[in-house]
Amino acid sequence: MPESKSPAKEHFLAWDKEYAHLKWGGPAPIRDVLARIPAGARVLDAGSGGGRYLGELAGHYTALGVDVSLTALGKSREQLARSGKTAGHLGASVHLLPFKKASFDGILCYGVLQHLFLEEREAAVGEFQRVLGTGSLVFFEAFGTEDMRCGGEPAKNSEGNYEANTFLRQNGIIYHYFTKEELMSLFEGFEILEIKDVKKEKVFRGEVYRRHMVRGIFRKN
C-alpha cells in the first residue's frame, strides 16, 4: 500500500486545483507599502497567488512573487504580461524560502499565513527574518477570529493534533483565524510598528454579518 500524504502536504497541493477555476479579481491596493518603502527597492510577495498585489508592486519595485501553486504563478505571469509589467515568479513555500540572507527590503504577506498550520506559520516568520535586511518591513494581513466565516471542521496538523481556530474546508485548504495577541506573539522577534483589527459589518434581513481582518506592519531590528 502506498504511503499516504500527510495533511500538511495535502493542503499545499490543494491550491493548484483551487487556482484552476479562480478568476482574476483585479489589482489590489498596496498603499501601506508605497508609503513606507522607496521606489526601486527589492520586495517579495510571499504567497503571490494570481498576482493581484505583485502586479502593483512591479510598477514601483524590483518585485518577486513566490507561491506553492504553479497554476497560480502561470496565471500571474499571463496577467502581468497583459499589463506590460515585469516581476519574477518562483515556485516555493513561504515557510522554506530559497533566498540568501538579507535579499529583500520588504515583504508583503496578505492572506497567506492564514492557510498554514502553526509550525509552518512560525517557520515562515523565521524565514522572513532571515531574508530581510536590517530595518526592512513585513506587511501582514489575515483573517481574524471574529469573522463570520470562522468555524467548520477542525483541521489536524501533520502530528495528528487539532489546532485552535484552524479549520479544513472541503477544497482541502486550511483556514486559520488570528487574534491580535497571537499575531504579536508570532512576530515577537520584530519591532511592531502597527497592529490593528479591521472589522466591517453588514445587516441583511435582520442578520449581522461581520468581516474581521488582522493587519500589521513589522520591522526587522
Locate 127 and state its grid cell.
524565514
- pLDDT at position 203: 86
Q: pTM for the full model?
A: 0.93
Domains in the chain, CATH or no CATH each: 32-189 (3.40.50.150)
pLDDT in tens, 115-129: 999 999 999 999 999
Element at 2 (helix H, strand E): none
pLDDT in tens, 48-107: 999 999 999 999 999 999 999 999 999 999 999 999 999 999 999 999 999 999 999 999
Parallel, antiparallel, or unpaired for β 62-67 and 88-91?
parallel
Q: Compute the average pLDDT of residues 2-31.
A: 80
Q: What percent of the chain has pLDDT over 70?
A: 96
Question: E strands of the chain, at which residues?
Answer: 42-46, 62-67, 88-91, 104-110, 132-143, 153-156, 162-168, 174-176, 191-204, 207-219
